[in-house]
């Protein structure tokens, strides 16, 4: 028997002591790692401010618009003032709350609008497109008490979420005078500056300085108590999608530890969120209309929500209450603007039903995943991969309209030949995404060419090319990724002009492409109903061409009659009716 090295208790105590020491070393290493990471982040922040100071020299304080060079005011439709009685009535509250905090305007009166020559109105200069940020000026839209008179933009921060901000203030969950603390919120990646930022014709729907605003104009915020907020934020993150794990398993994606991090297909990504800021003269020019017509339409078709669109022709900026966009950059962000490396790009418009919940009535999620995968591959090959996600649900018609169209399709024949007509019948228009504004984000990213465009859309292609950005290759979605029920959509779009490397279907081809019928229909009730009509029409032979029978068409409509004949088993009808 081997000799013992000591009493069991002593050995156990010694082992416990060793384990404790190891645990202490691990904890110390963890704390050291955290300290190094924190120090590195701080160095990055200091580097950001140093780069900012080097790129953009300090200039004298921004002067008021009233002291700047005079500009001709836009002649816009005028709105008559409210009568004194109506105005006075509007300022009365049926239930005065003594605990309620003052409004952002510092007065109990409701300020419906302002005017250029109104006493106290002194907007900060905005020279959109100026190369010097301090000569251009910040975007100021807040209605805080000390900022209201200095506003040079119409609308509110937050896009579509500005209404929730109003609810938070009304319910006293948010102090109307709250000032954000921007400590450690600096961009996590350096973007620009690029010459396109100073071209007022190339960027009209976002603020090129939106990610730098609180730091560029810090003196103005502190010295004059002006509320200036960012409209762009840049961060770093990881992305995990189940399809990407399968891509790794299939060998299409190869983990490299930098972009594709592991066998689960987890990706490292730089994300950029952008809220819309419209330069109204530029937006109007992009659509080929005059600024006055644009202002009037925006005012009237938002229920009169923004009267300053009419009364403040001197203010050229509008922050619309719509969704923005998110950029997903794979690889080094600096390579997006490098003309010497290849760029793979997908521009994707939101489709919540497919993108998030996997609906197979369209190709949105499959194409999105394909775009991400191809973007990652390009970045791994030394290039750059970018996916830009726009909030334009249902072709910017909205999800309610989209679902109404789905109902009309599935209760009818759901054929590719009628795809766009269904939408037009309900919405009055095929598409409201207006890709004319889409290329602005490409200019902001410094993109000067696209090597591989992961999109079939002719509208996106044309909008980008018209903005002077060439596209070298267009990549359609592979056929094996197209869900069966989405053939109606994709074939109709190819016929209408979408890019394809295959055959362009004609109307006869489209008539033979139909979607899946609803599977929750009470078939027995349906068959019985059909049989009743058959008997009423004296249809006794299964060989009879009932498509042209007036009684059947009167009951179900011509197109649905064709659907019935194509999909229903008449023998089952006869069995149910016997």
Q: What is the pLDDT of residue 74?
A: 37
Say yes or no to pLDDT of 446 above 50: yes
Render 64-106 in DSSP notation, one character per residue. BGGGS---PPP-----PPPPHHHHHHHH--SS--TTPPPPTTS
* pLDDT tier for residue 96 given thresholds of 50, 70 and 90: very low
Quick check: is 261 in a domain?
no
Pairing mode, if any, of strands 232-239 and 267-274?
A: antiparallel
Between CA 297 and CA 249 the distance in angstroms is 52
Is the pLDDT higher at 531 or at 166? Answer: 166
Between CA 228 and CA 220 the distance in angstroms is 9
Task: Report CA Rg, the chain.
Answer: 31
Pair 264, 245: CB distance under 8 Å: yes
* pLDDT tier for residue 91 given thresholds of 50, 70 and 90: very low
Structure tokens at 228: 């200036």
Is the pLDDT higher at 151 or at 522? Answer: 151
Q: What is the pLDDT of residue 368?
A: 98
Between CA 235 and CA 258 the distance in angstroms is 16
Q: How far is CA 123 from CA 63, 94, 127, 155, in A?
A: 9, 34, 12, 15
Q: What is the pLDDT of residue 143?
A: 86
Pair 283, 128: CB distance under 8 Å: no
Between CA 549 and CA 530 the distance in angstroms is 13
Q: What are phi and psi of 143, to 5 degrees?
A: -105, 25
Quick check: is 140 in a domain?
yes
Is the pLDDT higher at 1 or at 30? Answer: 30
pTM above 0.85, yes or no: no
Quick check: is 401 in a domain?
no
Between CA 513 and CA 534 the distance in angstroms is 27
Residues 6+ apart with CB under 8 A from 408: 422, 425, 426
Q: What is the pLDDT of residue 42?
A: 62
Q: What is the pLDDT of residue 551?
A: 44
Between CA 111 and CA 339 the distance in angstroms is 51
| Range of the structural domain that residue 191 is part of | 111-230
Q: How many domains does the chain have?
A: 1
Q: What is the pLDDT of residue 25?
A: 81
Q: What is the pLDDT of residue 543?
A: 42
As a whole number, mean pLDDT of residues 299-325 equals 96
Pair 158, 168: CB distance under 8 Å: no
* pLDDT tier for residue 570 given thresholds of 50, 70 and 90: very low
Structure tokens at 469: 């950005």
Residue 158 CB neighbours (<10 A): 17
Quick check: is 184 in a domain?
yes
* pLDDT tier for residue 563 given thresholds of 50, 70 and 90: low
433 is catalytic: yes
Query: What digits encode the pLDDT tens for the residues 37-46?
Result: 666 666 665 5
Quick check: is 12 in a domain?
no
Q: What is the pLDDT of residue 518?
A: 86
Quick check: is 125 in a domain?
yes
Q: What is the pLDDT of residue 40?
A: 63
252 is catalytic: no
Is the pLDDT higher at 319 or at 87? Answer: 319
Find the catalytic residue in 286, 433, 452, 487: 433
Find the catalytic residue in 314, 349, 431, 440: 431
Quick check: is 371 in a domain?
no
Q: How far is CA 243 from CA 358, 367, 481, in A?
A: 12, 12, 12
Query: What digits encode the pLDDT tens for the residues 385-407?
Result: 999 999 999 999 999 999 999 99
- Whose tokens are 């009808």? That residue is 573
Between CA 247 and CA 250 the distance in angstroms is 5
Quick check: is 1 in a domain?
no
Between CA 437 and CA 403 the distance in angstroms is 26
The pLDDT mean for the chain works out to: 83
As a whole number, mean pLDDT of residues 334-363 equals 97
């Amino acid at each position: 028997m081997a000799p013992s090295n000591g009493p069991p208790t002593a050995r156990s105590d010694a082992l416990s002591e060793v384990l404790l020491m190891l645990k202490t070393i691990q904890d110390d290493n963890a704390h050291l790692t955290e300290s190094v990471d924190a120090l590195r982040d701080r160095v990055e922040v200091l580097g950001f401010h140093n780069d900012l100071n080097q790129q953009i020299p300090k200039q004298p304080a921004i002067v008021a618009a009233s002291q700047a060079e005079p500009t001709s005011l836009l002649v816009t439709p005028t709105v008559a003032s409210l009568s004194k009685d109506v105005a006075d009535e509007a300022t009365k509250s049926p239930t005065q709350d003594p605990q309620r905090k003052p409004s952002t305007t510092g007065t109990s009166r409701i300020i419906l609008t302002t005017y250029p020559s109104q006493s106290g109105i002194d907007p900060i200069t905005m020279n959109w497109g100026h190369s010097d940020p301090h000569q251009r000026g910040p975007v100021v839209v807040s209605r805080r008490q000390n900022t209201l008179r200095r506003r040079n933009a119409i609308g509110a921060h937050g896009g579509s979420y500005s209404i929730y901000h109003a609810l938070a203030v009304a319910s006293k969950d948010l102090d109307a005078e709250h000032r954000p603390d921007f400590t450690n919120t600096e961009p996590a990646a350096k973007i620009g500056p690029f010459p396109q930022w100073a071209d007022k014709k190339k960027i009209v729907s976002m603020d090129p300085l939106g990610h730098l605003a609180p730091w560029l104009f810090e003196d103005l915020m502190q010295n004059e108590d002006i509320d200036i907020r960012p409209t762009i934020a840049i961060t770093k993150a990881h992305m995990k999608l189940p399809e990407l794990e399968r891509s790794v398993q299939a060998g299409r994606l190869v983990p490299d530890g930098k972009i594709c991090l592991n066998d689960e297909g987890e990706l490292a990504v730089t994300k950029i969120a952008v809220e819309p800021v419209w330069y109204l003269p530029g937006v109007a020019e992009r659509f080929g209309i005059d600024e006055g017509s644009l202002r009037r339409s925006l005012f009237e078709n938002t229920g009169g929500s923004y009267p300053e669109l009419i009364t403040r022709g001197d203010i050229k900026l509008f922050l619309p209450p719509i969704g923005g966009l998110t950029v997903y950059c794979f690889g080094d962000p600096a390579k997006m603007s490098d003309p010497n490396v290849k760029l793979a790009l997908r521009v994707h418009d939101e489709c919540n039903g497919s993108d998030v919940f996997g609906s197979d009535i369209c190709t949105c999620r499959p194409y999105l995943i394909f775009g991400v995968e191809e973007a990652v591959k390009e970045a791994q090959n030394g290039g750059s991969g970018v996916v830009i996600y726009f909030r334009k649900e249902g072709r910017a018609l909205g999800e309610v309209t989209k679902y109404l169209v789905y109902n009309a399709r599935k209760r009818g024949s759901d054929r590719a030949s009628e795809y766009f007509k269904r939408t037009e019948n309900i919405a009055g228009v095929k598409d409201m995404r207006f890709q004319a504004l889409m290329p602005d984000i490409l200019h902001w990213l410094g993109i000067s060419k696209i090597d591989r465009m992961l999109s079939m859309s002719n509208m996106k292609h044309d909008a980008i090319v018209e903005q002077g950005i060439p596209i070298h290759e267009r990549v359609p979605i592979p056929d094996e990724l197209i869900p069966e029920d989405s053939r109606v959509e994709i074939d109709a779009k190819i016929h209408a002009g979408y890019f394809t490397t295959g055959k362009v279907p004609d109307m006869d081809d489209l008539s033979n492409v139909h979607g899946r019928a609803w599977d929750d229909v009470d078939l027995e009730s349906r068959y019985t109903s059909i049989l009743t009509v058959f008997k009423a029409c004296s249809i006794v032979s299964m060989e009879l061409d009932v498509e042209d029978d007036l009684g059947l068409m009167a009951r179900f409509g011509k197109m649905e009659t064709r659907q019935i004949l194509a999909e229903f088993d008449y023998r089952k009808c006869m069995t149910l009716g016997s």
